[in-house]
Copies of this chain bind each other. A is one copy, B any other.
Amino acid sequence: MENVEVDFAVVGAGFAGLTAAWRLTNVDSPPRMIVLEARPDRVGGRVWTDTLDDGTWLDKGGTWFGPGQEYSYKLAEEMGACTYPTYTDGDSILVLEDGTIVRYAEDFPLDHLFPALGGLAVMEEFAAMAKKLPLDAPWEGTHAAEWDKQTFAAWVDSQLDDSSFALARMALKTIMMGVFCIDTAELSLLDALYLIRSHHGFTRLMSVKGGDQQDRIIGGAQSIANTIASKLGDRIRLGTPVRTIKHDDDSVTVIADNLTVRAKRVIVAIPPTLAGHIQYEPLLPAGRVQLLQRTPVGSVLKVVTVYDEAWWRDDDLTGQSFALADPVGATFDGCTDTGTPGVLISFVFGPNARAFGRLTKEERQQRIVDSLVKRFGSDAADVRLYEEVEWADQQWTQGGMFAHFPTGVLTNYGSLIQEPVGRIHWAGTETSSAFHGSINGAIESGERAAKEVVDAES
């Protein structure tokens, strides 16, 4: 068992932990610092890029940056990473419940999904409600208790309680199922509103151009994490899952497999459900224990299919699609900045992902290619490479894309989300309101936590 003594320990080398470590280190007379990462082979956490022999990068996890995500762009620039726009020339495709294919030219097919005025009115009501929330403490909003005791599914059904709104109902639930990767019967209305608030509205959240899916990173999103890691050097320890954190008034002791670290403070920068798996001595306060029991994650299968060419571009298609009933809930053009080879990104969300989990990989590939062919034509069948990740099957993530707060959790426990427990500090996109759930949120949380520990010791 190796013993190390440092000023600050960071648990987790995702974007939150790496940012915290980098902010702590990139100063005159940096403190002694160490980052403990459970994965044996890489940093990046929920951001994971594979690179093919020809140099093509495939983003298998977090992928995009969008307008307003200043923490993301700033860090990218600092690390010398360049962005390029997701391809948007042409029409996108909407697949209706009965399989009908609709081509649309807008950023998001609002008019197709909410053709009746009532449906659009509900969207506007939802946006207006979201705007009322205090961004940094949504649980303190005037209507927080009222909204946190309802599920998103129940609210949609109550607002659109007429058969003429069947399409709008289905659209709203399907969209939010995709965003949170869960059945919306699991989703608190307050949590849904908080997300929309934090992403500056529904259209921004869902759009490519002008929205959250606007930009990609040359080399893939993980390349930024890799650059930070190379700057941190041997201060990052891979393959070092933390099992126990002992803490008292004077210090913390972070015990990982084969390594024990004594530090003044620790930043826990992993998904909250995994933070709950660590044994704390003494036990965390009841409120914190219970918060960590109440931050489940959804299921999402992300599939990357590689083709010789981006054939959809020849058909004046963006590669973007959105489906109401088909298990392939959404697709995006996933090419590098050169546009060759063709790369399509497909998502299977929530209950559909769990159902796909019971199939073989071959069956999944067949089902996904079938869906793509129906949507885009027979070119979609000429797959050169099929790659998939079910994030719920990743040991050191255990779900995707980010945790949600079930009903009653934000109002009962929300004020504890960022609150340190003695010398233990918390980071991760779940603790951030700066595009909550995004890479940007992770980065912001890392900066905030780094500042916390420095301030506490100065």
Contact = CB atoms under 8 A, between A and B. Distances in A.
B357 A393 contact: no
A68 interface: no
A276 B399 CA distance: 13
On chain A, which size bracket covers the interface?
35 or more
Nearest to A152: B149
B412 A351 contact: yes
A149 to B, nearest CB: 4
A297 B276 CA distance: 13
A357 B392 CA distance: 34
A409 B187 CA distance: 10
A149 B154 contact: yes
A285 B149 CA distance: 30
A366 interface: no
A153 interface: yes
Contacts of A407: 151, 185-186, 406-407
Contacts of A251: none
A273 B291 CA distance: 12
B296 A185 contact: no
A1 interface: no
A366 B171 CA distance: 55
Contacts of A340: none
Interface string A344-380: 0000000101100100000000000000000000000
A419 B148 CA distance: 32
Contacts of A149: 151, 153-154, 157, 184-185
Interface string A234-257: 000000000100000000000000
Top 3 A-B pairs, shortest CB-CB distance: A185-B408, A186-B408, A286-B392
Given A184-B408, A185-B407, A406-B406, 19 more contacts: A149-B153, A150-B151, A151-B407, A151-B408, A153-B408, A183-B412, A185-B408, A186-B407, A279-B395, A283-B395, A283-B398, A286-B392, A289-B399, A290-B297, A293-B295, A293-B398, A293-B399, A294-B406, A354-B412
A214 interface: no
Interface string A197-241: 000000000000000000000000000000000000000000000
A296 B293 contact: yes
A290 B399 contact: yes
Nearest to A186: B408
A145 interface: yes
User: Which of A148, A184, A407 is most buried by chain B, counting CB atoms within 10 A of its CB?
Assistant: A407
B289 A392 contact: yes
A99 interface: no
A411 interface: yes
Contact of A182 (B182, B353, B408): B408
A70 to B, nearest CB: 32
21 contacts: A149-B153, A150-B151, A151-B408, A183-B411, A183-B412, A185-B407, A185-B412, A186-B408, A186-B412, A276-B276, A277-B277, A283-B395, A286-B354, A286-B357, A286-B392, A290-B296, A290-B399, A293-B297, A293-B399, A351-B412, A406-B407
